[in-house]
Structure 1
Amino acid sequence: MANLKTLDVFFSSQSFHEEELRNKVVVVIDVLRASSTIITALMNQAKGIIPVEDMGEASRISQSVGSDNLLLCGEKDGIKIEGYDLGNSPFEYNSDTVKNKTLILNTTNGTKAIKKAVGSAELYVGSFLNLSTIVQTLHEEEKDIVLVCAGWRRRMAIEDLLFAGNIVHKLGNGSLHPEARDGAKVAFGLYDKFRDNIPEVIHSSNHAVRLKDLTDEKDVDYCSQTDICDILPVLNDGIITNFYAKKEV
């Protein structure tokens, strides 16, 4: 059963040191858009996703693997990287494109947060798209839980914090532990205030406004949906796969 007293929330990938995640279960959250894109790719039967921190790492891995079933994917400041196969819109990750492919993913915020959290005991990727699956998984965890919001360029992103608050709210059945950590309190309070208007709040967020200047508004609409799948992305040996697909093998 999840320990709600020790449950913590970090507001960006810059708000913690790697040592703070040792022996803990971590959920990395980047609603707009890396988490949502990773979930969508796995939903459309991508073989796995290799998160990288920068273009140099992506290039080294792609050269060493050299497979026809490998796709270079990602964005810098919201824009698809020149020469890459795919950007970071979940709509690019359809079944015809990603099925049975391994994806190298490089994003401005999300994959950097994942890389920083690799020393945790278990690392999952969450967004509103797989909310209930994440909550169900965390309910069964005995280790301490940390929700890591990727944020945007070292700053808080309200959509990530809203999702973290949604998790805290559901794990506590609508109540906050009296000795809850400050991060969990803030996330819970934010979600409790805006819980009836999640899509509207996401659309008006700083990150969404920036994104809509660069791409179609449909990305924000898509990422604001709740529970469209039961995908559980988990990182093992540097590759993110669907936990349930792995269990079925």
Structure 2
Amino acid sequence: MANLNTLDVFFSSQTFQEEELRKKIVVVIDVLRASSTIITALMNQAKGIIPVEDMGEASRISQSVDSDNLLLCGEKDGVKIEGYDLGNSPLEYSVDRVKDKTLIFNTTNGTKAIKKAVGSSNLYIGSFLNLSTIVHTLNEEQKDIVLICAGWRGRMAIEDLLFAGNVIYNLGNGTLPHEARDGSKVAFGLYEKFRENISDVIHRSNHAERLKEIAGDQDLDYCAQRDICDILPVLNDGIITNLYG
């Protein structure tokens, strides 16, 4: 069973130091949109996803990988990077585009959080799309757990924190111990308040307002869905694959 007394939540990738994650189980959360896109790519049979921090790292890696089965993917400030094959809309990652491909993935917030957390014991990727799979996996873990919200440029993103709260709520069957960490209490309380209106809260979030101007509402509708798959993305040796694939 997950230990909710020690489970911690960080509100952005700038609110923790790498050493705080040593020997811990980490879930990186970027609901809009990196986590949702990674899960969708694996659901549609991508071979693996290599997260990078910037275009320079993406370029270096692309030169050492079989280009026939490689796609450069990602965004900067929500917009597809010029010259890349795909952006960061999960709706772009269809079976026809990604099956059996290795994706180099570069985003403004999500992949930076992943790269900063590589020193953890196990690193999973979570969003509402694979909620129950994340909860089931964490319930089986014996180590301390950290939920990392990618946020947006160092700021809190309410959709990430809502997902963290949903995970904690489900792990505790709707209760939270008094000894829980402050971050867990905030996430849990936020989810309790808004749990009947998750999709509406996501659509009204600050990050959603930015995305609507770039991608409309379709990505928001997609990312607000719960449990559409049992994909469990896990990072090993620099590449994200589906643990159950």
TM surpasses 0.5: yes
Residue matched to 1:36: 36
Name the structure 1 match of 2:207. 207
C-alpha displacement at 1:177, in angstroms? Answer: 1.2
Q: Take 2:168 and 2:215, find their aligned partners in 1: how far apart are those partners?
A: 31
Task: Please report how far the alpha carbon of residue 216 of structure 1 lies from its aligned counterpart in structure 2 after TM superposition.
Answer: 2.2
SS in 1 for 2:240: strand
Indicate the residue corresponding to 1:72 in structure 2: 72
Structure 1 residue ranges (4+ consecutive) displaced by more than 6 angstroms after TM superposition: none
1:36 maps to amino acid: S
Aligned to 1:22: 22
Q: Alpha-carbon deviations, 1:150-171, whole Å to 9, x = none?
A: 0000000000000000001000
In the other structure, the counterpart of 1:244 is 244
Give SS of 1:45's match: coil
Aligned residues: 245
| Counterpart in the other structure of 1:109 | 109
Aligned to 1:8: 8
Partner Cα distance (1:154, 1:198) in 2: 23
* Residue identity in the other structure for 2:241: T
> 2:222 corresponds to which residue?
222
CA distance in 2, matches of 1:228, 1:141: 23
Distance in 1, matches of 2:65 and 2:125, equals: 24
2:221 partner letter = D
Provide the C-alpha distance between the structure 2 equivalents of 1:200 and 1:67, rounded to a whole number of angstroms: 41
CA deviations on 1:99-153 (whole Å, 9 max, x unpaired) are 0000000000000000000000000000000000000000000000000000000
Task: Report the Cα offset of residue 57 of structure 1.
Answer: 0.2
Q: What residue is the counterpart of 1:45 in the other structure?
A: 45
Question: Structure 1: which amino acid aligns with 2:208?
Answer: A
Question: 1:178: Cα distance to partner?
Answer: 1.4
Cα distance in 2 between the residues matched to 1:98 and 1:159? 26
CA RMSD of aligned residues (A): 0.5
Matched with 1:82 is 82
Equivalence for 2:149: 149
Deviation at 1:66, TM superposition (A): 3.9
TM-score, structure 2 normalization: 0.99
Cα displacement (A) at 1:67:
2.2
Please, what TM-score do these two structures have when normalized by structure 1? 0.98
Aligned to 2:178: 178
> Which amino acid counterpart does residue 187 of structure 1 have in structure 2?
A
Any idea what the Cα deviations from partners look like across 1:187-245, whole Å, max 9, x if unmatched? 00000000000000000000000000111210000000000000000000000000001
Report the identity percentage: 81
Distance 1:15 1:173 in 2: 28
Please tell me whether residue 190 in structure 1 is matched to residue 190 in structure 2: yes
Query: Which consecutive residues of structure 2, in runs of 5 or more, have no partner in the other structure?
Result: none
The CA distance in 1 between the partners of 2:229 and 2:242, in whole Å, is 11
Q: Deviations over 1:10-65 (max 9, x none)?
A: 00000000000000000000000000000000000000000000000000000121
Q: Does residue 120 in structure 1 map to residue 143 in structure 2?
A: no
* Counterpart-to-counterpart distance in 1, 2:103 and 2:205: 29
CA distance in 2, matches of 1:15, 1:185: 16
Gaps of 5+ in 1: none
Amino acid at match of 2:38: I
